[in-house]
Amino acid sequence: MEPPAFLGRGPRAIAIVGRVLLVALAILAVWPMRTYLSLSGVSWTAALLVLVLVLAALRPADALLVAIALAPLAIPLGTILRSPSSLGTPLVRACLVGCLVHLAVRPHGRLAEGPRSLMRPAAVLAAVYLASCAVQLIVLQVSTDDGWPFLQLVAATACLHYFLDWAPLHPILAAGIFPLDCLGLFAAAMVLGHRSPPVGRRLLVATAVGAAGLAALSLIEFLRLALAGGSFWSTLGSQWATVRISPAFPDVNAAGSYLALALPIVAGLAWRDDGVRRRWLLVAALVAAGLWLAGSRAAVASATLVLLLMVLGGRRTRTSVALLLAGAVLMAVAVYGLRPTLAAWFDPPASTQRSLRVAFNVRAEMARTAFRMVEDHPAFGVGAGAFYRRSSEYITPWIHERVNAENAHNNFLQVVAELGLVGTVPFVWLFVAIGSRARQFLRRHRASGAVIGAIGGLVAFALTCLTGHPLLIQPVALAFWAAVGAVAGIVTSDEEPAEPAVPARSDAGRVRWSAIVATSSVVLLVASVPWRGEVALAGADLRDAAIGFSRWERHQDGTTFRYMKEHAQFFVPAGIAALRLPVRIDPGRSSGANIEIRIDDRPPDRVHVEGEQWTRVMIGFDRDRTGRRYRRVRLEVPNGPVRILVGRPEELRPGTRPVP
């Protein structure tokens, strides 16, 4: 990765400050791995991650090759090394930390405008994810702990337990932190590919190697299932068109998307004007077999379409003829194999996959769900990573009969629904800018087969995103962003770093406005977090949000209660007129206790509770004119630790009389 320009050109003091900031960022990024590496039984895992980190500090390109090749195999690799979690994100994080250390020690010169122009939407997108994560944490705080203890919990989760998946904060933190790993991987691959196009092509080869490893695992698992079925050949013939295998990912459709990304890359590596690289044709056959075993109809169709376009758009050489013949043979084999099992694709057994009709209906319903979310939250979305949790509020009864919550089954709609307009704009900006650079590059150069295959693979992956959500699976997302970064680096590799006086006035103006828009967007996103948090808190469902209480229990007299700490709070609907709250002292205490009750920010009311009988405290509410949905009730025991039992509150609407 390249540092900002001032690190290599500015005064020595500023350069030192920049290097210190890079080292601080590296320490912050690597800190979550401390606890991860200190767990018992993960010594081999620690050795691998430390090796990748050191290699990245010395030779960033080589370390990135290792991380890209191993990330898709992170789950089986973690099982072999007895890791407590998947190794994909830790591997990439170790690589990125090493790259930061390398930049701090050996800063490079100024980047060309091409890669810098792609950094801007990536930076805005990173700010969108972080701001969305912060807003969700503001809403979560009112049901978790008080302010300072909650910040300590967030810091502990992010810096000590992030790789261990520590609920309940991890889903929200992962939605904000994991995209930073992906965008960091994109930036590293782009900068290295820009500085050296051969390195960019080797990164694409690493993607193909990882896909070949995944396909080999799928083929081994398929053969194992055939051997376990008794008669090998009969089992093999009956299962090859119906079984769905993904040994590395829990989502077979995501595995299909990844293999659909890799197959055109492998085909492009075999595509040469002077002949066919036979070893890459064998790898292509292996990846195609893994793609078929994944059983993703969208992935098979997308990869086939892209391969046909590559063949038809290529030159009439022996390579294109060979690929065309190979495609005809594969098509004939597929048609022959589908003849007895075509019905299974449209109405398969329940153990394989849903029928095409049901799959289409599910995706159509989830698309409507996404549009409902966008209609309610057009600007900022429902929150990064929150589609699944919030979908139960929007899905139709037809979906509810099958599942309580579901993803969009369309990655683009999921991004729009989760991030809103502020996230969709930089997301589209980034990929439109990459596409524009790629088109200009293809017009100026005769691109290699690997680059053409990578562009085709990204198109195939994007097509699968229309019917699935592969970017929700971490190893697949990492592989995708690495491939995007490698392509972006290659297509901008012929651009030299421009001096301030070189660009034309129109180009300089466009660059200046692009930088201003990106910088101001990041500043506004950060500054909007408190306001967005208040708005989200006002519209959130806080009926079950409470702090400072134990779990609900049942008293021997039949009253449902929970123990209260010294400070506690809960929320009630804003439209109530009064609240009757049963409280009592723990039977072991002889004297009474004072309880201060505060409604929102008004002065507290003090109530004295004595004896072991339930005291039903009546709390009146003034009319709320703020428009919020819920009001906060805060309880406090000022005279020391006392075990207070608090029963279920009785909400009294205006015009109702309390039952004695």
pLDDT tens digits along 373-386? 999 999 999 999 99
Under the phi-then-psi rule, with left for phi > 0, alpha for psi from -120 to 50, and beta for the rest, what region is 379?
A: alpha
Nearest to 122 by CA among 60, 189, 204, 172: 189
Report the pLDDT value the prediction gives residue 531, as an integer from 0 to 100.
93
**DSSP-assigned letter for residue 499:** P
Is residue 403 predicted with pLDDT exceeding 50?
yes
H-type helices in 492-566, by residue range?
Answer: 505-527, 529-539
Of the pLDDT bands very low, low, confident and very high (cuts 50, 70, 90), residue 182 is very high
Nearest to 474 by CA among 296, 266, 248, 156: 248
Please indicate whether residue 20 or residue 385 has the higher confidence score (pLDDT). Answer: 385
Question: Which structure tokens are listed for 410?
Answer: 């369309």
Our measurement of the distance from residue 121's CA atom to the centroid of its chain's CA atoms, rounded to an integer in Å, reads 17
CA distance 266 to 292: 16
10 Å CB burial of residue 313 (0-12, 13-18, 19+) is exposed
CA distance 476 to 178: 12
Of the pLDDT bands very low, low, confident and very high (cuts 50, 70, 90), residue 491 is very high
Neighbours of 446 (CB within 10 A): 8
Q: Is the peptide bond before 168 cis (omega within 30 degrees of 0)?
A: yes
**SS3 state of residue 556:** coil
Nearest to 284 by CA among 272, 271, 296, 294: 271
Of the pLDDT bands very low, low, confident and very high (cuts 50, 70, 90), residue 241 is low
H-type helices in 1-112, by residue range?
Answer: 5-9, 12-30, 33-38, 43-58, 60-70, 74-80, 88-105
Nearest to 218 by CA among 247, 244, 239: 247
Q: Contact 542/142 with Cβ under 8 angstroms?
A: yes
**DSSP-assigned letter for residue 72:** G
Report the pLDDT value the prediction gives residue 62, as an integer from 0 to 100.
94
Is residue 396 predicted with pLDDT exceeding 80?
yes
Task: Render the burial of 84-115: b for 16+ CB within 10 Å, e for the rest.
Answer: ebbbbbbbbbbbbbbbbbbbbeebeebbbbbb
Instruction: Tally the C-alpha atoms within 13 A of residue 209's C-alpha that lie toward its C-beta.
Output: 13
Supply the angle between the helices 232-239 and 197-228 in degrees, to the nearest 10.
120
Rg (CA), the chain: 29
CA distance 124 to 179: 12
Of 137-141, 453-457, 537-541, the one with minimum mean pLDDT is 537-541
Task: Give the residues across from 617 on adjacent strands.
Answer: 581
Nearest to 166 by CA among 94, 84, 87, 95: 84
DSSP H or E segment with residue 422: helix 411-444
Question: Which structure tokens are listed for 503?
Answer: 């660009």
Is residue 458 predicted with pLDDT exceeding 50?
yes
Q: Contact 100/26 with Cβ under 8 angstroms?
A: yes
CA distance 194 to 257: 26
CA distance 517 to 504: 20
Highest mean pLDDT among 28-37, 153-162, 473-482, 573-582: 473-482
134-138 average pLDDT score: 93
Q: Contact 478/182 with Cβ under 8 angstroms?
A: yes
528-556 average pLDDT score: 89
Question: Which structure tokens are listed for 44?
Answer: 């081999």
- The verdict on pTM exceeding 0.85 is yes
